[in-house]
């Protein structure tokens, strides 16, 4: 499976599971963030779970390291990126 570039420069995804058309929406992705890449403030209309597989993932409040987990509520505004690069597991669900 190839990495696909997202709309945010330096952010790449591999969609592992997608049930976005089901009554209870959700999907699972791997996301790679290039060193120095940051996305502007945004939010999601689903719960977002982030598990850092390698490197360091940063939002406006915290730097998450390998093995760290982050849970964001629906509509939680945040910034995302990485100074050194990282790979994370993302799960979105209603």
- Match 């998450």 to its residue by tokens: 64
Q: Is the CATH code 3.30.360.10 the one for domain 4-93?
A: no
Q: What are 91's strand-pairing partners?
A: 28, 49
Map out the domains of the chain as residue ranges. Answer: 4-93
State the Cα angle at 80 between 54 and 20, rounded to 5°. 90
Close Cβ partners of 21 (under 8 Å, ≥ 6 residues apart): none
In a 13 Å sphere around the CA of 57, the CA atoms on its Cβ side amount to: 25
pLDDT digits (tens, 9 = 90+) for 1-55: 899 999 999 999 999 999 877 767 889 999 999 999 999 999 999 999 999 999 9
């Amino acid at each position: 499976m190839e990495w696909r570039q997202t709309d945010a420069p330096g952010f790449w995804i591999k969609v592992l599971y997608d049930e976005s058309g089901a009554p209870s929406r959700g999907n699972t992705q791997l996301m790679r963030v290039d060193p120095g890449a940051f996305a502007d403030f945004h939010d999601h209309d689903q719960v977002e779970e982030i598990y850092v597989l390698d490197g360091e993932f940063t939002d406006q409040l915290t730097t998450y390291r390998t093995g760290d987990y982050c849970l964001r509520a629906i509509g939680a505004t945040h910034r995302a990126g990485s100074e050194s690069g990282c790979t994370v597991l993302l799960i979105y669900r209603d």
